Amino acid sequence: MGVATKETIEGMQSVGVQATAKHYIANEQELNRETISSNVPDRAMHELYLWPFAEAVRANVASVMCSYNKVNGTWACENDAVMKTLLKQELGFPGYIMTDWFATTGTVSGANAGLDMMMPNANWANDPDSVWWGPRLKAAVESGQVSLSTLDDKVRRILAAWYLLGQDQGEYPPVNLAADVQADHKQN
């Protein structure tokens, strides 16, 4: 798994696409993944679950997507131990951590635990106030619940991935929504 992870990331990013390693971490079952707590001892975490993500970090992956499940009783996207301590500090991950869609349950807890980017949640299209970040994160920074240095770190990490892949150079290929992505795979 780790070797395939590394090779896939290097292949994707070699053509200017930001790769995302997911689902971080201990997301090993689909049934009830939005409610379960994966309780993993430290040794198993390091020897089994963290290894593919360590390979992703070695491959300079742009981002990591935290999972829906809890890890040792705390939501993965609000878990300081897995996001800050293991991924950012222990593995030295310089990129950004993003949620999966609907994987956020709070503003301050995720922001202070190392989450860098929130994907939309429940009713974002019809009710922008239902989004945990945006105005809520701004209010948390203004009230001091989330420090400016924490916000600055998030911005640096997100922009670092953009610069890492040269997306600031204007040579990034344009999106072609009319492309037939199946044409090369058709069997005659």
Active-site amino acid positions: 100
CB 88 within 8 A of CB 114: yes
- C-alpha span between 25 and 14 (Å, rounded): 25
Nearest Cα to 19, choosing from 56, 44, 50, 51? 56
CB 23 within 8 A of CB 66: yes
Per the structure block, which two tokens stand in for 74? 């705390």
φ/ψ region of 134 (left if φ > 0, alpha if ψ in -120 to 50, else beta) reads left
CB 132 within 8 A of CB 110: yes
Give the number of C-alpha atoms closer than 13 A to the C-alpha of residue 44, restricted to the C-beta side: 8
Q: What are phi and psi of 166, to 5 degrees?
A: 70, 25
Nearest Cα to 27, choosing from 63, 77, 61? 77
